Amino acid sequence: MAKKLIVANWKMNPDSLKKAEELFESILSFKSYDALLNLVICPPFEYLEPLIKHPKNKKKVVKFGAQDVFYENKGAYTGEISPKMLKDLKVEYVIVGHSERRKFLNESDAIINKKVLAALKEGLKVILCVGENSSVRGKGKKVVENYIRSQLEKDLKGLTNKLMKLKANNLIIAYEPIWAIGTGNNDTPKDAIEVISFIKEQVFGNLSFVPKMLYGGSVNSKNINEFLQNNAIDGALVGNASVDKKEFSKLVENLKSVKNETKKPKK
Ligand code: PGA
């Protein structure tokens, strides 16, 4: 089985550095999993440096990601953090275009597009989030596919084969249906795989690269294997379950038993 990618999106949690260190230490204590999966944790900005430099983080097996980034590298942009600053801190990944930022901060596709290009140019691995809301989903498969295609076209505008050749494998797409995020109401593996396969084949089919695809939205220790046992899905973006020590440890433990299956999921 190709290595799966598990990205832990801590969002605005936990509420103190002490608790963040405890959570990180519990992840460091997971029994060997690195032959099977790559683990990336995305804590709030202020915990990145202390966790990266944590005395127990010697083996550097766990990778780090930020939850957002700005599109300029320096200047008068109060409150922003640049791609260069993240690189300087040895942060490898960045989540861009999460639906919570699209919704709460009105982050537009035009801004997300600038962030994707700037972060890729700086050599960061970009996890670009796309996904439809429940009203789009209610209109059926074709409408969902058109919606996702249009989101990707806007968010990746100007992304050239040249840039991708230089930064091969640095673009990762997370398909996260908005109605499934934080609700406990995950998509069915069958429907998620259909959208993910559509993206791989129909949106990227003619290009010289196909990005890794993650599923996100109420992934937990019980359903992780249903999603990741199919080769179409390269990994998962995990929110709530990633900030619960026991649940996250179970999730990684359960994932170890994933078999390499190419067959279609049960209807
Ligand atoms: P969730 O969050 O796992 O809590 O649904 C996923 C995400 O927001 O990336």
Q: Quick one: which atom of ligand 1 is closest to the CA of 99? A: 8
Among 98, 107, 132, 226, which one carries the catalytic annotation? 98
Q: What is the pLDDT of residue 31?
A: 82
Tell me, in angstroms, the distance from the centre of ligand 1 to residue 140's CA.
Answer: 23
Is 88 in a helix, a strand, or coil?
helix
Going by pLDDT thresholds of 50, 70 and 90, the confidence category of residue 267 is very low
Q: What is the pLDDT of residue 223?
A: 96
Q: Quick one: which atom of ligand 1 is closest to the CA of 220? A: 3
Residue 263 in this model has a pLDDT that exceeds 70: no
What residue owns the CA closest to ligand 1's atom 6?
A: 239
Q: What is the pLDDT of residue 99?
A: 97
176 noted as active-site residue: yes
CA distance 83 to 70: 7
Ligand 1: which residues within 6 Å by Cβ? 9, 176, 181-182, 216-219, 237-241
Query: pLDDT digit string (tens) for 3-33?
Result: 999 999 999 999 999 999 999 999 999 887 7
Query: pLDDT digit string (tens) for 233-255?
Result: 999 999 999 999 999 999 999 98
Tell me, in angstroms, the distance from the centre of ligand 1 to residue 217's CA.
Answer: 5
Query: pLDDT digit string (tens) for 25-69?
Result: 999 998 877 788 999 999 999 999 999 999 998 878 899 999 999
Query: pLDDT digit string (tens) for 165-192?
Result: 666 689 999 999 999 999 999 999 999 9
Buried b / exposed e over 67-80, threshold 16 CB at 10 Å, is bbbbbeeeeeeeee
Q: What is the pLDDT of residue 262?
A: 44
Beta-carbon-side half-sphere exposure of residue 250 (alpha carbons within 13 Å): 12
Q: Quick one: which atom of ligand 1 is closest to the CA of 183? A: 5
Query: pLDDT digit string (tens) for 79-119?
Result: 999 999 999 999 999 999 999 999 999 999 999 999 999 99
Q: What is the pLDDT of residue 261?
A: 45
| Contact criterion met (CB below 8 Å) for 65 and 93 | yes
Among 100, 107, 176, 226, which one carries the catalytic annotation? 176
Going by pLDDT thresholds of 50, 70 and 90, the confidence category of residue 210 is confident
Residue 259 in this model has a pLDDT that exceeds 60: no
Q: What is the pLDDT of residue 168?
A: 65
Q: What is the pLDDT of residue 256?
A: 77
What residue owns the CA closest to ligand 1's atom 1?
A: 239
Structure token digits, residue 191: 């429907």
Q: What is the pLDDT of residue 162?
A: 67
Structure token digits, residue 182: 């934080």
| Contact criterion met (CB below 8 Å) for 242 and 41 | yes
| Contact criterion met (CB below 8 Å) for 4 and 34 | no
CA distance 140 to 136: 7
Its pTM stands at 0.94
54 noted as active-site residue: no
Tell me, in angstroms, the distance from the centre of ligand 1 to residue 264's CA.
Answer: 25
Tell me, in angstroms, the distance from the centre of ligand 1 to residue 40's CA.
Answer: 14
123: left (phi over 0), alpha (psi -120 to 50) or beta: left
